[in-house]
């Protein structure tokens, strides 16, 4: 019944409902000083990937160019937008395509987070909302000249690097399973096992382990004539092979980046732009790289 009522709404009716629900005039801008280091990393990547030449708003995730990647996975892309939106750092543009919004009982009740345009809702010193260009300039300057040294912010940045590596590994796992038509459902078990391996291995190592784990599972299922229920033991094989690789490094083939392992803008910004490095987020164990290379930069001097 709700869908039938929504279909009766005219285009003008929908626009009015959207404008009423997502009016930006009532939203107080967030002072740029209140943004966390991670928020700034997200925003700089978004400005580079999700803007056109006018550089006045943020485009929908669905319009990311095919040769660019905001984060390692579309799942993480959506979480990034949700994180910023929940903090009112970005606001839904009510002028987005009406098909991006949901209607029920003659009300606008939500939107597709990947399909809407966004306004940046940031100010400086509690003044008027800044333009995208001004935000970009300020955030770029901050990220390239300042390392947060408080314990709280440092933990957030460590979490960011680990999450980035985790999503790279997860993205490749899902790609590999999809390539073999696996009915693989990612859950808590795989999340836990992947997180365990990320603490000791590089993403490049884990990708080679994923290849072997999925191939072994494929052979097991097909030879046992168990139908198309592939992926049932992938997480167990992944952990067993990973722990073996941690004990004996010769078990690892060390995968290289290719079209199946694209590099995200977040990785480029953090490792290349900010830390003058290369692709350490892929080739080095993130926990070890923090310990051996980055901890000094993020620790306050006595």
Q: Tens place of pLDDT for every residue, the chain, 302 residues?
A: 334 444 588 889 999 999 999 999 888 999 999 999 999 999 999 999 999 999 999 999 999 999 999 999 999 999 999 999 999 999 999 999 999 999 998 899 999 999 999 999 999 987 899 999 999 999 999 999 999 999 999 999 999 999 999 999 999 998 888 888 777 777 888 899 999 999 999 999 999 999 988 888 877 777 766 555 555 578 888 999 999 988 887 667 778 888 888 999 999 999 999 999 999 999 999 999 999 999 999 987 54
Taking CA atoms, 6 is separated from 43, 93, 98, 281, in Å, by 35, 21, 12, 47
| Neighbour-count burial of 21, counting CB atoms closer than 10 A to its CB (0-12 exposed, 13-18 middle, 19+ buried) | middle
Euclidean distance between CA atoms 203 and 166, whole angstroms: 8
Question: Radius of gyration (Cα) for the chain, nearest Å?
Answer: 22
Taking CA atoms, 46 is separated from 77, 78, 132, 197, 270, in Å, by 10, 12, 11, 29, 13
């Amino acid at each position: 019944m709700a869908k039938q009522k929504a279909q009766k709404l005219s285009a003008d009716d929908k626009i009015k409902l959207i404008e009423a629900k997502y009016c930006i005039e009532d939203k107080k801008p967030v002072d740029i000083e209140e943004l966390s280091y991670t928020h700034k990393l997200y925003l700089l990547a978004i400005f580079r990937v999700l803007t056109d030449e006018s550089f006045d708003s943020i485009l929908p995730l669905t319009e990311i160019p095919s040769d660019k990647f905001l984060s390692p996975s579309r799942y993480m892309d959506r979480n990034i937008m949700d994180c910023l939106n929940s903090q009112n750092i970005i606001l839904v543009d009510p002028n987005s395509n009406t098909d991006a919004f949901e209607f029920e009982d003659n009300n606008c009740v939500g939107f597709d987070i990947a399909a809407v345009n966004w306004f940046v809702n940031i100010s400086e010193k509690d003044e008027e909302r800044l333009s995208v260009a001004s935000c970009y300039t300020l955030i770029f300057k901050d990220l390239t000249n300042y390392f947060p040294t408080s314990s709280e912010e440092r933990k957030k940045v460590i979490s960011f690097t680990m999450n980035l590596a985790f999503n790279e590994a997860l993205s490749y796992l899902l790609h590999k399973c999809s390539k073999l038509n696996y009915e693989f459902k990612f859950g808590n078990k795989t999340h836990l096992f992947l997180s365990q391996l990320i603490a000791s291995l590089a993403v490049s190592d884990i990708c080679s382990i994923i290849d072997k784990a999925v191939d072994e599972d494929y052979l097991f299922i097909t030879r046992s004539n168990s139908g198309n229920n592939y992926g049932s033991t992938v997480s167990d094989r992944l952990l067993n092979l990973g722990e073996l690789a941690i004990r004996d490094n010769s078990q690892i083939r060390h995968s290289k980046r290719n079209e199946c392992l694209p590099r995200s803008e977040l990785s480029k910004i953090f490792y290349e732009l900010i830390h003058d490095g290369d692709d350490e987020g892929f080739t080095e164990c993130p926990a070890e790289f923090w310990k051996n290379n980055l901890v000094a930069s993020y620790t306050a001097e006595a």
